[in-house]
Each structure stands twice: as C-alpha cells, then as structure tokens.
Amino acid sequence: MKLGFYPGCSMKGGSREYKESVAAVCKAFDIELVEVPDWNCCGATAAHNLNKELALSLPARILAQAEKAGLSEILIPCAACYNRLSVTQHELNENDKLKERVKSILGMDYQGTSSIINIIQMIDKYVLPNLDGKVVKSFNHLAACYYGCLLVRPHGILKFDRPEDPVTMDNVIRKIGGSPVEWAYKVECCGAGLSVSKTEAVARLSGKIVEDAADRGSQVIVVACPMCHLNLDMRRPESNKYLKRNIDIPVIYITQAIGIALGMSGKELGLQRHFVPVILKEKPEEPAPVKPAKKVVQTQEMEA
C-alpha cells in the first residue's frame, strides 16, 4: 500500500536514523512511503513564537502540496511536525476567515481534508495487525516509553491517546516482547527548542526524565520525536552533569525497537548514529531490586 509521508527537516539531518528505521519498518510491511512533493519546513517552534500567520501558512503549504498530489493520508513521524500540521489544520477548519487569509498568502487551493497520522498511529494501524510471525528476536528489555509533549497535547485537537498517562507506545513495546516500566515522566517536557539557546534548562528537564527512567530500572528509553531524542541522547553529558550521575541508558526510536525485534541489523536501523551507545541489556530473570524513585514509598509486597 501507499502512504503519504512528510519527513520534516530533522529526518534529513540530526535524526536521519529515525528516517532510516521508519523506512526499514515500512518496507518490511509493504508500505510504500510517498513523500509530499517539494515539502518545506513546518516552521517548528520559531514560527509560532514570532508570527501566527507564518506559523499557519508554512504547514498549510505542506498540506496543500499533499492534496495536490492526491495524498489523503500522511504519516508524520516527527512529533513536532505532527503537532504543527494538526494544529494548523484544526485552526483553519474552525475559522473560515483565517482559512481564506492563509489561502491568499499561499496562492494555492487548500481544503484541509488530509488525514494526518503520527508514527504510533501508523504502527497501530498498519504494523501491529500484520506482526504475527515477524518477530524473530523478542525485545526483551525493560523500556521507559517517553511520549513527550507534542504527541499528546493539546488533546482537544490531536485526540490521540491520553494526555497524562498515554499507553499506545507501551502496547507496541509489549507486542514485540518488551516490558514497559511504570514511570512518572512519560509526558514531561524535555526542554524542546531551547536546546541551543538555553541549554541549562534542557539539562535540568531532560536530566529529570532520564533519572526517573533509570531509577525505575529501565534498560532503554523509547521515543517518537527527533527533538526529544536529541535532548535525551546528545544532551546526556549536560544532563548527567546536572544530575551529578553517570546514566548510560540508551535512547532509541520506537521504529528502531520494532526493527530490532524484526531481526534487522543495527546499521540498517542507524543505531550507530546515537551519542549514548546502544547497548541493550536483557531483562533480568527475576525482578531486580529497583531503587525506589524519589518520594515513592515501596511496600514489602513488591519484594515478595
């Protein structure tokens, strides 16, 4: 089958391994990704911080280009792009005057009828139903599924999963043989676009996320956003410095986790491109004594 595809800028550069693993997984399930012709940047954080009309027009051009190419369903693996395009579509559908204004800025027709799906929705819809017999190497690891902000908020617009305690990624991990951990930082912010302009804030926020994952015994953090990955992986030296700890839990994309379970090589999935080396420890046979997370009282029953 064919599926519209908006890679976004990160996947061409800093997170090319995300694109590599998305492509590898899609190929394994006979999904042909058709790129939106001559796509542009969605404007990311910068556009909506400085100018509303620009922040709506850039994503609207992408959607208009997709419509022109007859792509009715578009996969957007980057959580930030997924968010910007979904919010734009919603705002323009709610406000005819604004829609006309944006159409005149674009000088293009725009309907706003495309169906936008994020990576987990794609996996849910096209990968999981066809997973039987394909998992050759159980993903036998304790995994902290990290959703971040932009996949689940604003919930009223995205209507995806639950805004405070989402579970869809945890389900995917379970289906490939993994064990999702219960933890408190699933949807906490990593510091996002402040990575370069206010790195100390990112060190603090990402540090707390990584620390909670570590304290709950996680062996891997699984993400679905290039920005989150960058902050949890590339900014690890800064966050470790903030924590005064040396946490070496690798951070991988959900599509890399699936690829590993399908028996794909590390190179095929781009695992060598991460800053924190991807060394996955097997889940211990017996539940290891887990250091209690801060302020959580551990009962005796858990030990029994």
Determine the 3-state secondary structure of 253 from DSSP. Answer: strand
Which residue reads 């280009």 in tokens?
Answer: 65
Nearest to 151 by CA among 213, 211, 94, 229: 229
Determine the 3-state secondary structure of 131 from DSSP. Answer: coil
| Cα→Cα distances 73→29, 76, 113, 152, 210, Å | 17, 10, 9, 19, 34
* For another protein, the closer CB: 94 or 182: 94
Nearest to 22 by CA among 253, 298, 296: 253
Closest separation in Å from C-beta 213 to another protein: 16
Structure tokens at 46: 């910068």
Closest separation in Å from C-beta 75 to another protein: 18
264 vs 124: CA distance, rounded Å: 20
* For another protein, the closer CB: 15 or 142: 15
Closest separation in Å from C-beta 61 to another protein: 7
* For another protein, the closer CB: 107 or 129: 107
261 vs 255: CA distance, rounded Å: 10
For residue 188, the one-letter residue type is E
- Residues binding another protein (CB under 8 A): 9-10, 12-16, 38-41, 43-55, 57-58, 61, 105-107, 149-150, 153-156, 163-164, 187-189, 191-194, 196-199, 201, 205, 234, 272-275
219 vs 183: CA distance, rounded Å: 13
Closest separation in Å from C-beta 91 to another protein: 10
* For another protein, the closer CB: 13 or 133: 13
* For another protein, the closer CB: 105 or 290: 105
Identify the DSSP state of 220: E
Closest separation in Å from C-beta 11 to another protein: 11
* For another protein, the closer CB: 173 or 276: 276
* For another protein, the closer CB: 153 or 174: 153
Closest separation in Å from C-beta 271 to another protein: 11
Per the CB < 8 A criterion, the answer to whether 92 and 58 are in contact is no
* For another protein, the closer CB: 49 or 115: 49
Find the distance separating the first CA and the last CA of the chain, reported in whole Å.
50
Closest separation in Å from C-beta 139 to another protein: 23
Which residue reads 């559908």 in tokens?
Answer: 93
Which residue reads 């926020």 in tokens?
Answer: 205
Helices (H) and strands (E) in the chain, counts: 12, 8
Closest separation in Å from C-beta 107 to another protein: 7
208 vs 190: CA distance, rounded Å: 9
